[in-house]
Structure 1
């Protein structure tokens, strides 16, 4: 049974990689048709198009899975002035409690999610409380223009985002600085498995996964979160018992030390 579970856990990422390869090929052909060989000068735009297609097309599946986890309760706890990292197609928008939200700034460097997010925001009548910025947390000039400055945020939300950023340590240091004293960092992420066999599988799959899915399978996310600054409750981070999963989850609601 253990061998079957281990093989199933490895098969699922391989299926996702293959699907993403197909979408990248389709995005490449579309770019060539529309822009010719000049499109090859901007491979990131092709990657953004393929990645957004994957996550928009399968959005309902991701939402359904997250509904079986702690994600809905985590997002529901976000309050005040909120910074959401990497909203993707906006899977979390319906989970916010509007009565607890002053304003939500969502930042994502992939501009292809704009129309999808706009449609979801309109459906939920959150136009006056939600703004998408096509940038990363490191783009301080853009954030400052919106009033997102050190010590200004009540909540920073990160749902499966830290696996995809360029430098987790620098992103988390920026997050810690943006939070008010007593502000909350709410997260649900995946990281390197503690099981040696699964960790080896993650290492073998990571090159293809990171190339075509845009994130890393085997980062030590917990260590980088804790190293960002002083938290009042570092022991509250929880980890699922998933010895065979290539995407073992950790989560928590950390409070910045005042």
Structure 2
């Protein structure tokens, strides 16, 4: 029989994350990244479709995505289909993306790497599904460069993970893409305004497949 934790993960946690990831300041930063997508596009953690308002619809040939929460995909499917795109959205995880190698020109990843189980495996999967010369567009939160803030991240993370669907505060961002073999062009970095520093050190940019 499902327990309280299972009920929280299924019904409360997705709504909390959706609210946190849809604040005004977060949306402003999404607007700096998502419109750069073009061609055949794949979105990791496409959730309830929060990024779809920022895509340049004319630049996109097809749109695919995965999310571990099947219940969050119905709204996203409807929104994408309304744009007239060829749409293929599936339940899945980033460590085992259910699409063929070299299928996409662009991968979009926003506030998702913090919560996957094996980030380097996910980045390897991004490399696999991208075509030569393809681009992974990213906007993520992670380990802060300031020592005092990073110390608080270390302290808070164990409890934070349990409340926020496995979200980590201390993972590197651009450096992780570089480690995975991408050529990274960092477009920006900094703390999110009007949010606690421990939760919102951001880096965003374009990581090109070599």
SS in 1 for 2:171: coil
Task: Give per-residue Cα distances to partners, 1:38-95, cap 9 Å, x unaligned.
Answer: 123x955641322222234x27x725223433x2131111011111011222110111
The 5 A counterparts of 1:122-201 are 125-126=82-83, 128-140=85-97, 143=98, 148-201=99-152
Q: RMSD value over aligned CA atoms? A: 2.4
Q: Which residue in 2 is equivalent to 1:253?
A: 206
The answer to whether the 8 A contact 2:65-2:88 is kept is yes
Q: How many residues align?
A: 206
The 5 A counterparts of 1:113-124 are 113-121=72-80
Larger strand percent: 2
Shift of 1:241: 5.8
The answer to whether the 8 A contact 1:55-1:89 is kept is no
Q: Which residue in 2 is equivalent to 1:210?
A: 161
Counterparts of 2:190 and 2:202, CA distance in 1: 6
Q: Which residue in 1 is equivalent to 2:60?
A: 101
| Pairing partner for 1:227 from 175, 179, 189 | 179
| Pairing partner for 1:240 from 190, 193, 205 | 190
Q: Which residue in 1 is equivalent to 2:49?
A: 90
The answer to whether the 8 A contact 2:108-2:137 is kept is yes
Shift of 1:127: 5.6
Q: 1:199 to 1:93 in 2, by over 3 A?
A: same
Counterparts of 2:171 and 2:39, CA distance in 1: 30
The answer to whether the 8 A contact 1:88-1:113 is kept is yes
Give the greater-gyration-radius structure (CA).
Answer: 1
Larger helix percent: 1
SS in 2 for 1:72: helix
Q: 1:63 to 1:81 in 2, by over 3 A?
A: farther
